[in-house]
Structure formats: C-alpha cells, structure tokens
Structure 1
C-alpha cells in the first residue's frame, strides 16, 4: 500500500474517532468538528477525500446528534455549513506547513471566524429589541453587539474544544507517523 494511502487511512480513522466525541456528553459548543475541518484540509492529499470525509462526518454526526439529543441540524444549517467550509479553507491555505504554531493559529483563527459568522445578528430574525433567549436581534449595531455578547460563553467552550481536538488530531497523527511500526511498514 502506498504511503499516501496509509496516511489517508490513518487520518480517516482519527477523524472518525474524534467525530464520535459529538455523541458523548460535553460542554455546549465544545465539539471536534472545526478540528476535523482543519485536519482534513491540512493532511489528506486526495482533494475529493479532503472535502468528502469532513462533510460526511459532519452530516452523519448531525443526524446522530439529532436522534440522540433532538437537535443537530438547524434551520440555519446552510450558514453553519458555510462557516465550516470557511474553516476548511483556513486549514487548506494556512496549514501548508504543519507545526505547533501554525496549528494553534489555525485553530484560533477557525474558532474566531466560525464565531463571527454564526453569531452575526443579521442572520437571525429581526426584532425591535434584542432577545437573546429567542435568538432575535435588531439589524443594527446594537443587535450585532447583543448577538456577539450572547455567544461569548459558547465561544469560550468552542475555543477550548478546538485547541484540544486539534492538539489531539495533529498530535496523534504526528506520533503515529514517527512511530517505529509506521516507519518499518513504509520502509
């Protein structure tokens, strides 16, 4: 088996493994999906798999989360998937060279971009007065600020989860690549 194929299969295994964390109790918004987007974009060589694997993991885990918890796909799913695609693009362009600094910066940038896109008040129903519990905001500066303020607790969880899952994915991948067993199998 070719080295790139072995690496892609290993990456797939890691992606499926961490995607399963969505089905385990966790702090809200602390999921592995942004890390899956960055990791897939940076590590998988075949462009079809690079795109298909994270999208399939996201879609399947959304369905499973919906079955288990009663939510997973939303009326704003197109916006959420657009935000994931933007994070994927960050991984594709920013993680050409894999090192701890680039991965950490990519993770932080992905979290910030996802937060900014999904909490922009104009994507929510318009209301005269901000009501974060209903997800209604005026479509003006006050509404934008209120929407971002309401999302800050979730952003904190997302940032911590993204850094942890990126560390787990990229760290495990690097460890396996450097392992004696992997080196012998590819000698």
Structure 2
C-alpha cells in the first residue's frame, strides 16, 4: 500500500482492513493486537521507500517488512503473554516456534508483492498506451 497509494491511504487501507477483519473474527490479546496494528502501519510507511519500484527494492522491502513484523510481534507475544519465561531463553524459544510462520510469511509477501507490482506496472503501461493512442488518433483526425 505504501508504494502505490498516497501516504495517508497507505496507512488507512491496511488498518481499516485489519479492523474490519477483527470485528468479524474477533479481537484478541490487546498488547499483541496493538503491536500487530503498529507493525502494519510501520510497514505501510516503509512502503513509501518502494515508490521507485525497482525489482530489487520490492524483494528487499518485502523481506525487510516480513522480518520487522516477525521480530516485533513475536517479541510482543513473549513480553505480554504467559506462554514463555521472561528470559533470553524464553524469547529465543518464542522466535524459534515462530520460524515456520516466518518462512511462509516471507514467501507469501515476496510472491504477493511481486504480483501486485507486476499488475500495477502493466496497468500503468496499458493506461499510458491507451491515452497516448487516443491522443494521437485525435490529432490525426483534426
């Protein structure tokens, strides 16, 4: 969202989508939920860096966003929950148990981001070609 939409929309669209889904599915542990929302907003703002839309930035941005989300949300689960001891070993255990989700999240984020940017690029290219064709066809008929 941050790479394609204006900054305000880049923050609002993911936050509103998450709020709607949480209203339907149900809310959960507030400290973790606030961390998830904050992480999504930070990632959306980070997407502004991707405005250049070069392929390496898309991949690196997706991987960095996935890593940031993984680190912050797993830390919040460890810090605010009762599942893990409040020790360095407990934190490492929380991160270790989250690794399968992290792998899948990275794959999904890179694939989804790639698809979104390819579709967006093709849309812009086709729109430009359409308007350029219309402009030149009008010029020829004058």
Q: TM-score range by the shorter chain?
A: 0.7 to 0.9
1:52 Cα offset (Å)? 1.8
* Alignment deviations for residues 46-77 of structure 1 (CA, whole Å, 9 cap, x no partner): x332322222222223334x1xxxx5x32121
> Of residues 129, 137, 144 in structure 1, which corresponds to 2:91?
144
User: Any stretches of 5+ residues in structure 2 without a counterpart?
Assistant: 136-142
**Structure in which a larger fraction of residues adopt helix:** 2
Query: In the alignment, which residue of structure 1 is the partner of 2:129?
Result: 183
Shift of 1:42: 1.2
Provide Cα deviations, 1:69-128, integer angstroms capped at 9, x if missing partner: xx5x32121111111122123212x31311110010000000000000011122322xxx
For normalisation by structure 2, the TM-score amounts to: 0.81
Larger Rg: 2
Kindly report which structure 2 residues correspond to 1:1-187, keeping only aligned pairs within 5 A, or say none: 40-45=1-6, 47-64=7-24, 66=25, 73-75=27-29, 76-92=32-48, 94-120=49-75, 121-125=78-82, 136-179=83-126, 181-185=127-131
- Distance in 2 between the 1:169 and 1:100 partners? 12
Aligned to 1:20: none
TM-score by length of 1: 0.63
Q: Distance in 2 between matches of 1:97 and 1:171?
A: 13
- Relative contact order, CA 8 A, sep 6+: which one is greater? 1
Structure 1, unaligned runs of 5 or more: 1-39, 126-135
User: What SS does the aligned partner of 1:74 have?
Assistant: coil
* In 1, Cα distance between equivalents of 2:129 and 2:18: 32
